[in-house]
A and B are shown apart, each in its own frame.
Chain A
Amino acid sequence: MKKILLIATAFSIAVGAPIMASASPSGDLKAFRAYFKKRFPDVNLSAYKDGIYAINKDRREAWLEFEDFAPPYEDGVEYGKKLFNKAFANGKTYASCFKNGGIGIRQDFPYFDAKKGDVVTLEGAINACRIKNGEKKLKWKKGKMAAISAYMGYTSRGKKVNVKIPNDPRAIAIYDEGKRQFYAKRGQLNFSCADCHVYGAGSMVRGNLLSPALGHVTHFPVWRKKWAKKTFAKKNKRGPTDGFGTLHRRYGGCNKQVRAKPFKAQKKEYKSLEYFHTYMSNGLVVNAPGLRQ
């Protein structure tokens, strides 16, 4: 790690840290994988979908026990299914907006829409579907949105993440912006995502084990104990979606940790970050929703 850190590039908003010198997405992907292969030689590529539990045996065992017993996200997935199947005022349902009726399609998101010239995230498509059918938008980061997204992810378990970066300058530009977001130092504490989740992966920050960025996205939305507690403290009653948060909620949290002002969910910064970040996990299976601390 030290060696890699020492191959210094320009400070601050350098595009691409040392391991990401490559100019093409597929080259980036190769370098990214090679880095983690070297860092964790005993971890198979397919295992990275489990975050920190891919790299720490003890924590994995405790986690699996929870997963096998009664994962707390089950009620939320059930609730998401109900919402997903409930007809809008015009009689249609979400199924009408998606390929395959919305079942088993999580792995194709986010994708580049050539007509719009923009990247479409799953949450973005969910709200676009609502608008198209005369309904109001849902809030982006938790609650009903996260439940619907979790259900759609749940129906896609086992499918391989399959994000495409078409050879279209607009798509490449969004990808590059996402890559920049990932490697840019930010906040008073001056961290990039890569500092913690690439170079720091496997290290401890106080009691927190840092997960590898490879495989980060496969299990979102996640159900977090911490978020469930927070919601409970606020509402003083429990609901099925309490622990849920989308990927952009997590991004915001990680930005705040370094005392940086988070960006708004589903705006261009996080959308492009998601595009880059998810592409790096291509080929890993979807296992949403994940269960986390």
Chain B
Amino acid sequence: MRKTAKFISTATAIAALMGSLSLAPINSAYAAEKKAMTPVQKGKKLAFHKKKGNCLACHKIAGGKMAGNMGPPLIAMKARYPDKAKLRAQIWDATKANANSAMPPFGRHKILSEKDIDLIVEYIYTL
């Protein structure tokens, strides 16, 4: 079983699950654009990006295309998560609240960096 825990390096990460691959490299224009963005905008970009959060694979989010429905639509987040830290914890490791959760543990499995998660929380909290 130990073997199964070995991760394929992110370089070869297959995005098939998460829809089709977007192979375009992150170019410098993108980097410049990123600099000018607010944290919420950056968070949105990360949340929608197929190789980053890819939240749309499973959640309907306003403005997102081709959303899946394994998870509930992300709406009214402030009302549902008065405590922002709880929202972050859900994204960091969904299996804490539900051991059988199908939602990937983005923080615990280092799918996203701590900073990326912070940005995503900022964005999700506006929904």
Contact = CB atoms under 8 A, between A and B. Distances in A.
B6 A205 contact: no
Interface string A161-175: 000000000000000
Contact of B4 (A186, A199, A207, A253): A186
Contacts of B98: 5-6, 8
Contact of A18 (B19, B56, B100): B100
B3 interface: yes
B104 A189 contact: yes
Nearest to B1: A13
Determine the interface band of chain B, counting residues with CB < 8 A from chain A: 20 to 34
A168 B8 CA distance: 37
Given A189-B111, A206-B68, A261-B6, A9 B100 contact: yes
B109 interface: yes
A69 interface: no
A261 B4 contact: yes
A261 B3 contact: yes
A258 B66 CA distance: 19
B100 to A, nearest CB: 5
A2 to B, nearest CB: 9
Interface string B66-80: 111110000000000
A276 to B, nearest CB: 16
A206 B67 CA distance: 5
A259 interface: yes
Nearest to A183: B100
Interface stretch (A72-80, A88-96, A129-137, A190-198): A190-198
B39 interface: no
B13 A203 contact: no
Interface in B83-109: 95, 98-102, 104-105, 109
Interface residues of A, number: 36
A146 interface: no
Interface string A50-76: 000000000000000000000000000
B35 to A, nearest CB: 28
Given A11-B95, A200-B102, A205 B17 contact: yes
A256 B68 contact: no
Given A11-B99, A190-B104, A206 B4 contact: no
Contacts of A138: none
Nearest to B60: A204
A189 B8 CA distance: 11
A1 to B, nearest CB: 9
Nearest to B3: A261
A258 B74 CA distance: 22
A195 B57 CA distance: 14
B58 interface: yes
Interface in B102-127: 102, 104-105, 109-111
Interface string B4-24: 111110100110111100000
A99 to B, nearest CB: 35
A189 B17 contact: yes
17 contacts: A5-B100, A8-B100, A187-B7, A188-B7, A188-B111, A189-B104, A199-B100, A200-B102, A203-B68, A204-B68, A205-B17, A206-B19, A206-B68, A208-B68, A259-B7, A259-B13, A261-B3
Closest 9 CB pairs of A and B: A257-B17, A206-B19, A8-B99, A204-B68, A189-B104, A186-B4, A195-B102, A11-B99, A256-B14
